[in-house]
């Protein structure tokens, strides 16, 4: 009986492994096809000042609308694109698209044009040709490097090594570097000593507690105190209520991003925001 159990367990284990690998392979093929077929697009979510709600930057967020009508969340396909290496081509397309859009906004809105923030995954940071690619795209679109922010996560640079080398090379080019989802990784504080970043994006999980318990607010307050001490700018992520925005401002936060202000939206809607409301959203 014991032997039978072991056997059946082993079979089930193999089957599930095969399924994951198969699903990855299928999705990788679909991503490759989707890139050629124009199924991806980039939305832009405003990053605003506190308390005025003036639009100063946008974060580029990729969306995948498949031909069969299904929309797939980046939280779902980015990890698979990372595992399968597809993120290299997809990431290059996203960066190109976001920079082309940034250049359009600069021509159209001059000094009022939003800075553009682009997420770069761990796998992309391990590509030693990334800095040269970034420099080429900026040059081709005649963009000053500091018009673009590269968002990386703590886990991507946790190991140091090649990813950290890439980060230093990006900094040399002059792009702004932001640590995304700050506080959720394993090495947040020690990383600040070795990692050349300019901006901390304080994760939504800390923002959620603001205007809630005093204890939770204390963490958000401590994070901004550390950032100030180190001369880093901070962006509060995932701000969903006016109360949170108000408290964050009182705690010393100067920039915020979240559904309370605006959702990720097509570039043309950002143009409309810039024109109609002179950049001021809600506060
Ligand atoms: P992220 O970089 O931390 O992006 C912020 C995410 O939070 C976005 O989800 C955004 O829509 C969402 N968000 C913003 N404000 C609020 C809010 O007030 N409430 C809530 N509940 N959510 C809010 P999204 O677009 O689904 O992206 C999820 C994650 O997928 C991103 O997290 C990022 O890690 C990854 N991702 C998205 N686009 C790209 C991309 O172009 N390249 C790479 N490498 N990763 C991307
Ligand atoms: Mg991000
Ligand atoms: Mg984030
Ligand atoms: Mg986040």
The model's pLDDT over 11-64, given as tens digits with 9 standing for 90+, comes to 455 556 668 788 888 888 999 999 999 999 999 999 999 999 999 999 999 999
Taking CA atoms, 178 is separated from 81, 100, 119, 150, 190, in Å, by 22, 20, 9, 6, 16
* Residue of 18, 74, 12, 67 lying closest to 42 (CA atoms): 74
Taking CA atoms, 219 is separated from 44, 198, 202, 215, 239, in Å, by 29, 20, 11, 7, 16
Answer yes or no: is pLDDT of 156 > 90: no
- Note the ligand closest to the C-alpha atom of 257: 1
Instruction: Examine the predicted complex and report whether its ipTM is higher than 0.95.
Output: yes
User: What confidence tens digit (pLDDT) does each residue in 228-280 have?
Assistant: 999 999 999 999 999 999 999 999 999 999 999 999 999 999 999 998 765 56
Which residue CA neighbors atom 29 of ligand 1 most closely?
A: 75
> Radius of gyration over alpha carbons of the chain, in Å?
21
* Beta-sheet pairing, 55-65 with 115-119: parallel
* pTM, rounded to two decimals: 0.92
Closest atom of ligand 1 to CA, residue 118: 41
* Beta-sheet pairing, 176-182 with 148-153: parallel
Residue 7 pLDDT class (50, 70, 90 cuts): very low
Task: Compute the distance between CA of residue 190 and CA of residue 175 in angstroms, rounded to an integer.
Answer: 23
Provide the pLDDT for residue 3: 47
- Note the ligand closest to the C-alpha atom of 61: 1
Q: Where are the alpha helices (DSSP H) in 57-212?
A: 74-84, 87-109, 122-125, 130-140, 154-158, 161-173, 188-194, 204-207
Residue 215: count of CB within 10 angstroms of its CB: 8
**Mutation probe of ligand 1 site: the residue of 34, 65, 74 with most atoms within 8 A of C-beta:** 74
Q: How far is the CA of 61 from the centre of ligand 1 (A)?
A: 6
Q: Which residue ranges have their beta carbon within 6 Å of ligand 1?
A: 45, 60-62, 73-75, 78, 91, 94, 119, 121, 151, 180-181, 238-240, 257-259, 264
Among 161-165, 166-170, 235-239, name the one with the lowest average pLDDT: 161-165
């Amino acid at each position: 009986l014991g032997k039978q159990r072991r056997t059946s367990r082993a079979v089930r284990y193999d089957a599930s492994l095969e399924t994951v690998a198969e699903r990855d392979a299928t999705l990788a093929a679909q991503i490759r096809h989707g890139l050629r077929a124009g199924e991806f697009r980039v939305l832009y979510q405003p990053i605003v000042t506190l308390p005025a709600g003036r639009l100063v930057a946008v974060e580029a967020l990729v969306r995948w609308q498949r031909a069969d009508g299904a929309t797939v969340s980046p939280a779902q396909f980015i990890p698979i694109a990372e595992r399968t290496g597809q993120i290299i081509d997809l990431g290059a397309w996203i960066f190109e698209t976001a920079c082309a859009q940034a250049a359009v906004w600069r021509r159209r809105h001059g000094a009022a044009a939003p800075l553009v923030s682009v997420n770069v995954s761990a796998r992309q940071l391990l590509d030693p040709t990334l800095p040269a690619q970034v420099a080429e795209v900026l040059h081709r679109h005649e963009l000053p490097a500091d018009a673009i922010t590269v968002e990386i996560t703590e886990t991507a640079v946790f190991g140091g090594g090649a990813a950290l080398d890439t980060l230093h090379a990006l900094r040399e080019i002059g792009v702004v570097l932001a640590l995304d989802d700050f506080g959720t990784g394993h090495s947040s504080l020690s990383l600040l000593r070795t990692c050349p970043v300019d901006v901390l994006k304080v994760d939504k999980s800390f923002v959620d507690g603001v205007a809630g318990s005093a204890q939770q607010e204390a963490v958000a307050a401590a994070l901004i105190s550390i950032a100030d001490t180190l001369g880093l700018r901070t962006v509060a992520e995932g701000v969903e209520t006016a109360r949170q925005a108000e408290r964050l401002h009182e705690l010393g936060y100067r920039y915020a991003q979240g559904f309370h202000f605006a959702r990720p939206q097509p570039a043309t809607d950002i143009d409309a925001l810039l024109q109609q409301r002179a950049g001021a959203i809600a506060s």
